[in-house]
Amino acid sequence: MSQADIQPSLDHIQPREKAEILAQALPYIRKYHGKTLVIKYGGNAMTDPALQQDFAEDIVLLKLVGMNPVVVHGGGPQIDEALNRLGKKGTFIQGMRVTDEETMEVVEWVLGGEVQQDIVGLINAAGGKAVGLTGRDGGMIRARKLKMVDKDDPSKEHDVGQVGEIESIDPSVVKALQDDAFIPVISPIGFGENNESYNINADVVAAKLATILKAEKLLMLTNISGVLDKQGELLTDLTARRIDELFADGTISGGMLPKIAGALDAAKSGVNAVHIIDGRVPHALLLEILTEQAFGTMIRSH
């Protein structure tokens, strides 16, 4: 993106105001310098070209000012599109994609190939040094078959195919890349004891990785303004207890379940702050990390 592309949007801001905006970011840059930030990248931020560009620039800027961003991406819409091209229809049980062998092959080449390399390319074009990984690289994500218990009848289990749950994460390959000024971009695919592949929910991978890396923050980009109450109002600050209540009364359901459950686990396991932010806002990441303004829901352990 050339200077000319950026300039018009800033023309209305006086130099003094620009200086104040930059100065306001300074305490945050100082506070998070050298700290790891795990970012779950998904939703509109991932499919809208202008937002993709914003995201890539944000990641590069965070790296340049001394933070350590680690990107974990999803790819649900892209997987659906690829399956449609093959004449396969995706089915879901309790928000999880049922993954047979053929679907798993598609998941691997869409996530670990197409989507991951698009993100790597965007970050590199914005001036960063991104490296794509799947959970197989460096033996990072060991997984086992997910046993999905029916939410209404705990005695019943659903078979969702090659969907995995995380057994363990070895973060050494991520740490090695961070130390060498690279930005890791991770596809949520794990491997089992017989070298079989598992599709793992990207929110769950991001949350677990944030815990293992002792990240300062876990940021999850979504297609909504954050966690909403039954009236559709944004809940900006949630505690563990309040989340349990929202689960119980059905306020949080469907695709938000794994996202919030993962976020809550991370908050309880030592990640200082978990933010669920609106990926449809241009430069939402920078605004969340470098300003006072909250663009979503923050989750605290207590």
**CATH number of the CATH domain containing 59:** 3.40.1160.10
Strand ranges for the chain from DSSP E: 36-41, 68-73, 92-93, 96-97, 130-134, 141-145, 148-149, 157-158, 164-169, 183-187, 189-191, 197-199, 217-222, 227-228, 234-235, 237-239, 273-278, 296-300
| Residue 28, in any domain of the structure | no
Tell me what pLDDT residue 47 has: 85
Tell me what pLDDT residue 7 has: 38
Question: How many distinct structural domains can be found in the chain?
Answer: 1
Q: Which residues are annotated as a binding site for substrate?
A: 75-76, 97, 199
Tell me what pLDDT residue 53 has: 93
| Residue 282, in any domain of the structure | yes
Tell me what pLDDT residue 299 has: 87
| Residue 31, in any domain of the structure | no
> Which residues, given as ranges, of the chain have pLDDT below 70?
1-13, 254-255, 294
Q: Find, among 164, 286, 123, 118, the residue nearest to 217 by Cα.
A: 286
Q: What is the pTM of this model?
A: 0.89
Tell me what pLDDT residue 93 has: 85
Residue 202 to residue 162: CA distance in whole angstroms: 14
Residue 116 to residue 134: CA distance in whole angstroms: 9
| Residue 5, in any domain of the structure | no
Tell me what pLDDT residue 13 has: 67
Tell me what pLDDT residue 23 has: 86
Q: Which residues are annotated as a binding site?
A: 75-76, 97, 199
Q: What is the DSSP letter of 163?
A: B
| Residue 30, in any domain of the structure | no
Amino acid of residue 129: K
Amino acid of residue 228: L
Question: Can you read off the two tokens belonging to residue 10?
Answer: 């800033």
| Residue 283, in any domain of the structure | yes
Element (H, E) at 285: helix 284-290
| Residue 19, in any domain of the structure | no
| Residue 11, in any domain of the structure | no
Domain limits for position 161 = 36-300
